[in-house]
Every structure is written in C-alpha cells, then in structure tokens.
C-alpha cells in the first residue's frame, strides 16, 4: 500500500535530465538547469497546471523511493509537454562513463561503437575454414557491431566472437571467462554451419528466401545471446525463465527492422529454427532451461503477429497450415498475441530503452542489412548472412 497520496494525472519525477524536445540542438540539451536537485529532494509536475513544485528533503526518502517503484534513470530523463499531456521520453543521448574520467562524462558515437568488440577465432576443425574466411571476407561481425552500436555499454563493453567448439552446436553468453576480458557472446562455427545445413534450398515461405531464413536464424541466435548480455550488464529483473526472455528480446529487436525486412527475418527464422532446436542435445529435454522447440516457435510467431497482424497475417489460417508441420497459429492464441506484444513492449521500454541511443537506433532500424550476396560462377550454395557456404 502506498504511503503517499497524489493528484490524478500527475507525474512525479525524482530526476530530470532535460526538458527540451528531442530535436533540440546538442548545445541546448547539454545546459544544466539553474538549480540542481539536492540529495533526497524531488520534483512534482502537476499534470493539469504543469506547475513544477520542489519536494522537501526528508528522512527515509530512499526507502520511500523503493516502495513507490522508483527506478535509476542515470544519466537522466527527458520529460516533454505536448499539448495537455506529459511524456517521459527516456534518457538523454549521453552515456555515463565508468572509468578514469569519472561518472557523468560523455562518450561519443565512435567510442560507443568501440564498446562492442569482435573477434574471429581460427577454427579448430579444418572443415570450418571456408566458413571462417567467408565470415571475415563479408565482415559479418563488423555488421553485427554496427547493429548493436546503439547500446550504451559501460566499460569494458561486450565482446562477440566466433569460435570452434569441439563439435558442439551451440552459442552462449557469460561474463568472466579467462581470456575474454569481460562480458562475451560466443558463437560456435558448428552452430553457424548447422544453420546452413538445415535450411532448405527452396523458398521457406512465400517471398522468404533461403538467404532470408539463414540470415534470420543468424540474427535470432546472435540477438538471443545479446539479450542474456543485456540482462546481465544492466541487471534487468526477470520473471520466468531467462531463456524465454532472451527469445523475446531477439524477436522484439528483429521486429523493428522495417516491415519487409522484419517479416522475412522473423518468418525465415521461425519456420526453420524449430528443426535446428530439435536437433541440438537440449532440444527435446523436458528438464532443460530452454522451452521445447514447438513452444519457442509459437512464441516467436505470436509476438510477431501481435506486433503487426497485417504484415504477419500468413502465420494464421489455411496458408500457414500448408507451410508448416506445426500448423497455423491457433485462434485462441492469436487473440491474445497483441496483449503479449504489449507486455513485452512495456518491459523493453521500461528496462532497456533507457540504455539505448535512440537516434542511433533509428538509423540502425531504418537500414537494410545483409543484402543477398553476388553469386559466383559455381553452382549456388547456401549463404550465412551474405557469406557463401561451403
């Protein structure tokens, strides 16, 4: 039960970074207010009169903040008035530095990009040599680095590497392995090769090519492991299994890459990765921390359908029945998919969006990534995200 009463339609803010609009020039956004907020002080913005009232400091304010669900909003938040409404827009486009310059100093876009580090480790299995060379030649990890650049990461950032895994088809995230220098996403060449091997040569879905399906799977698994990294680095609280949350994180990000690109990637991944998931050792293990392949399939297409029923209309009805061994998304599930998406959307915007550079994220989502590679004179072979397969 709340200890305080407050007026309807009012918004209480404990920290305010900027009051300017998102389009304000950098010099305007960077100017501090005339009177900084004192420790344990608060600001009340009346949602009807738009008057700003300072709250007095009081003993026990930290506990009250926790009881009211207060969240750390470093390096600040933007509160914007539009007509008769108030909006919390998220954090300003500054990045808190954890390092020699001390908290509060800014990190420019180049340094932000460099917080994502990549490494192609030479394969242990000679059969993966060509895959390794194609990945490097087509700068696949460099592209992933650009896609993830909007994440405002504390030092030492995040390492993403491809590596040989002694025959294990897998990918994983951890923080603290010797030689990794901090948070690391590991992508096995065995996994990447298996993605190529299990993807059919013909169209996976209408207007979803083999290339789309391979790219979609690659992006899904890379973003899935990045989801684990994000939860760890930002200490995001989770209800339920972290593996399910990482699946939803990956799908949510993929759904923002423009309708056509998102549809091709999401459907390409959904309608091929279920076979991949069943093929790995934990695929049919009821005691696994992972959901069963069929459950993960339906969770993915449900989130997509809930986000955009028009674009993903073909995951329901007779067309879907003809195209997948799992059948169409059942109506009883489809009817709740918008609610499922809205729940994920609220969670992402609350817990993760404050850690994004929104201007950079918009440029990333507006870009077409991994174009279809030019075919060589040899007979066409599967490709991984623009990388001709062996």
- What whole-number distance in Å separates Cα of residue 277 and Cα of residue 275? 5
Number of H helices, E strands in the chain: 14, 11
What is the tens place of the pLDDT at every residue in 220-262? 999 999 999 999 999 999 988 899 999 999 999 999 998 899 9
With CA atoms as reference, report the closest residue to 269 among 326, 209, 357.
Answer: 209
Q: Which residues contact 63 (CB under 8 A, 6 or more apart)?
A: none
DSSP 235-274: T---SS-HHHHHHHHHHHHHTTS-HHHHHHHHHHHHHHHH
Residue ranges of the alpha helices (H) in the chain? 26-29, 61-67, 109-114, 129-137, 140-148, 189-198, 210-233, 242-254, 259-279, 293-307, 317-323, 331-334, 337-351, 358-365
Q: What is the mean pLDDT of the chain?
A: 75
Mean pLDDT is lowest, of 145-159, 269-283, 289-303, for 269-283
pTM of the model: 0.67
| C-alpha dist (Å) from residue 104 to 96, 101, 154 | 5, 8, 12
Residue 320 in this model has a pLDDT that exceeds 80 = no
Q: Position of tokens 């010797």?
A: 178
What is the pLDDT confidence band of residue 98, given thresholds at 50, 70 and 90?
very low
Q: Position of tokens 């956004």?
A: 29
């Amino acid at each position: 039960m709340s200890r305080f009463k407050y007026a309807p339609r009012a918004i209480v803010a404990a920290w305010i970074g900027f009051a300017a609009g998102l389009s304000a020039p950098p010099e305007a956004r960077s100017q501090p207010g005339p009177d900084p907020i004192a420790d344990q002080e608060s600001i009340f913005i009346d949602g009807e009169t738009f008057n700003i009232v300072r709250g007095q400091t009081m003993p026990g304010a930290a506990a009250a903040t926790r009881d009211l669900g207060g969240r750390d909003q470093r390096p600040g938040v933007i509160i914007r008035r539009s007509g008769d409404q108030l909006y919390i827009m998220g954090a300003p486009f500054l990045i808190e530095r954890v390092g020699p310059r001390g908290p509060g100093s800014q990190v420019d876009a180049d340094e932000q990009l460099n917080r994502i580090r990549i490494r192609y480790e030479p394969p242990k299995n000679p059969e993966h040599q060509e895959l390794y060379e194609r990945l490097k030649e087509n700068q696949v990890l460099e592209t992933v680095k650009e896609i993830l650049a909007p994440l405002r990461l504390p030092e030492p950032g995040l390492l993403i590497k491809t590596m040989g895994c002694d025959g294990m088809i897998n990918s994983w995230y951890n923080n603290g392995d010797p030689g990794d220098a901090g948070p690391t996403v590991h992508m096995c060449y065995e996994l990447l090769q298996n993605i190529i091997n299990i993807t059919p040569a013909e169209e996976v879905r209408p207007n979803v090519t083999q290339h789309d399906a391979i790219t979609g799977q690659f992006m899904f698994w890379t973003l899935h492991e990045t989801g684990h990294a994000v939860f760890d680095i930002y200490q995001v609280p989770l209800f339920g299994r972290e593996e399910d949350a990482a699946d939803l994180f990956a799908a949510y990000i993929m759904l923002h890459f423009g309708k056509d690109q998102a549809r091709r990637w999401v459907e390409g991944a959904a309608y091929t990765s279920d076979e991949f998931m069943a093929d790995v050792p934990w695929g049919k293990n009821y005691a696994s921390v992972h959901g069963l392949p069929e459950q993960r399939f339906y969770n993915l297409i449900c989130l997509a359908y809930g986000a955009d029923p028009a674009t993903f209309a073909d995951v329901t009805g007779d067309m879907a029945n003809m195209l997948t061994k799992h059948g169409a998304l059942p109506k009883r599930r489809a009817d709740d998919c918008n609610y499922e998406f809205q729940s994920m959307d609220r969670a992402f915007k609350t817990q993760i969006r404050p850690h994004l550079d929104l201007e950079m994220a918009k440029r990333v989502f507006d870009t077409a990534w991994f174009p279809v590679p030019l075919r060589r004179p040899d007979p066409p072979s599967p490709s991984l995200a623009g990388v001709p397969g062996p």
